[in-house]
Structure 1
């Protein structure tokens, strides 16, 4: 990953909040992000694809769900930027974080918001 690609990803408000939420929660699925960000599923999916294609996110499949996490293969400098941004700018995603926490914990969250059975 080069610096231009990283900063281009983080320059968009939805992508920035997505990265900050994923950094805080370790991993999230589309339905969790849709609720937390209050945006449509296609919009969330489009931004996740851009973040994944840029190398910022990794994925893990669990049944029919795909969970997104910060790519462990990121260079250290990029991981440091994400971690520092998350630590120093919690207010950027505060309302999204609150909505996410109001969803409860997994597996209740998945059952109630994602239509999955536990």
Structure 2
């Protein structure tokens, strides 16, 4: 008999810094969570990941909580009250920042079922 472990949600601080990111969107593709940001807003994502502080990136209809963690087994999750919760180890944060700095394109972030699409221009949609 196989036993299934319940996913552990990452704690999101109540006083998390909120940064508006125009046009940010999130969707899923099978088991991957995909963030899409406009190239003009990509530095906001890079800075948030590199800060190693909990940050909520907010869009018109979405909240993406980037939360530093040490446990690499944690995975992205959606909480209906908090929005998307993306756990970032140091290695994942560094890979995300490095790849997104490459400009427009699609990137699979190493060590996490996370993809990032940097859309050309001002709109991520």
Normalising by structure 1, report the TM-score.
0.31
Which has the larger helix fraction?
1
Normalising by structure 2, report the TM-score.
0.29
